[in-house]
């Protein structure tokens, strides 16, 4: 019985190709899994960052702000810091820094937190954190594409938090009139997008300048 060696070779090549493809797919899955694990990992460095970030956020939220024409809304520089910290330390840190900072600020100034907006702060901080590992800031680069990625993410986070979460919770928790709270929410979203876009971007550019650029070290 004659067997064409080319057929055997073809089958062997096919098996090799299938195996290679599966290994490649497995590597991609492992890579994405490890990226996700890193993004939501909490370690000592993260906890320290949350403590320092929440304290700074509280101070900025209380003292470095500009009131807007819409009642009970202000241009808050704190969200620039929050977006900066979330990009460096991830969604968990971003959420807790802004949640704790906003809650402490409300408690000190007004006696108790306004929970709908405190929760919205936490939501926006969480979403800001999805810029973590999606920019090259830790590699000493924060330019065109990185700036665009960061600002798309922070804008999405602010719209979700302030145009959706805060007004809906205001209505559900405090029975506030819808027209008023959605006006507040849209105003807050616009101001916070500018705050994160300007101050967050400047902080990340400055931070990147302190990092060693990838491939910049050479052997002597």
- List, for residues 103-122, the tens digit of each pLDDT value: 999 999 999 999 999 999 99
Q: What is the pLDDT of residue 42?
A: 85
**Does a structural domain hold residue 115?**
yes
Q: Are residues 25 and 109 in the same domain?
A: no
- Specify the pTM: 0.81
37 pLDDT more than 50: yes
Beta bridge partners of 75: 66
Q: Are residues 10 and 25 in the same domain?
A: yes
Give yes or no for a contact between 162 and 186, defined as CB atoms under 8 angstroms apart: yes
**Does a structural domain hold residue 28?**
yes
- pLDDT, tens digit (0-9, with 9 covering 90-100), for 149-169: 999 999 999 999 999 999 999
**Does a structural domain hold residue 214?**
no
**Does a structural domain hold residue 218?**
no
What is the total residue count of the chain?
A: 220
Q: Are residues 30 and 94 in the same domain?
A: no
Share of the chain above pLDDT 90, in %: 76
Q: If 0-12 CB within 10 Å is exposed, 13-18 middle and 19+ buried, where does residue 70 land?
A: middle
Q: Are residues 129 and 181 in the same domain?
A: yes
**Does a structural domain hold residue 2?**
yes
Q: Are residues 123 and 170 in the same domain?
A: yes
Q: What is the pLDDT of residue 39?
A: 81
Q: Are residues 125 and 166 in the same domain?
A: yes
138 pLDDT more than 70: yes
DSSP 147-190: HHHHHHHHHHHHHIIIIIIHHHHHHHHH---HHHHHHHHHHHHH
Which CATH number belongs to the domain containing residue 145 in this structure?
Answer: 1.10.1760.20
Beta bridge partners of 67: 74
**Does a structural domain hold residue 219?**
no
Distance CA 137, CA 173 (A): 39
Q: Are residues 118 and 159 in the same domain?
A: yes
**Does a structural domain hold residue 215?**
no
Q: Are residues 9 and 77 in the same domain?
A: no
26 pLDDT more than 60: no
**Does a structural domain hold residue 198?**
yes
Q: How many domains does the chain have?
A: 2
Q: Are residues 5 and 52 in the same domain?
A: no
Q: Are residues 31 and 78 in the same domain?
A: no
Q: Are residues 85 and 98 in the same domain?
A: yes
Q: Which domain holds residue 83?
A: 42-209
Distance CA 210, CA 85 (A): 15
Q: Are residues 7 and 95 in the same domain?
A: no
């Amino acid at each position: 019985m004659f067997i064409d060696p080319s057929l055997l070779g073809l089958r062997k090549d096919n098996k090799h190709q299938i195996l290679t493809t599966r290994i490649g797919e497995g590597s991609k899955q492992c890579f994405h899994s490890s990226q996700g694990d890193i993004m939501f990992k909490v370690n000592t460095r993260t906890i320290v960052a949350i403590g320092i970030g929440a304290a700074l956020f509280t101070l900025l939220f209380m003292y470095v702000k500009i009131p807007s024409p819409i009642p009970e809304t202000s241009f808050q520089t704190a969200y620039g810091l929050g977006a900066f910290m979330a990009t460096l330390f991830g969604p968990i840190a971003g959420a807790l820094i802004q949640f704790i900072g906003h809650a402490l600020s409300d408690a000190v100034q007004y006696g108790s937190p306004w929970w709908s907006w405190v929760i919205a702060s936490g939501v926006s901080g969480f979403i800001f954190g999805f810029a973590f590992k999606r920019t090259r800031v830790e590699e000493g680069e924060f330019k065109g594409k990185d700036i665009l990625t960061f600002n798309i993410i922070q804008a999405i986070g602010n719209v979700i938090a302030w145009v959706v979460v805060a007004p809906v919770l205001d209505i559900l928790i405090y029975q506030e009139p819808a027209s008023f709270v959605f006006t507040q929410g849209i105003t807050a979203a616009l101001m916070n997008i500018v705050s994160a876009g300007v101050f967050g971007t400047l902080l990340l550019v400055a931070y990147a300048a302190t990092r060693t650029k990838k491939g910049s070290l050479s052997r002597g």
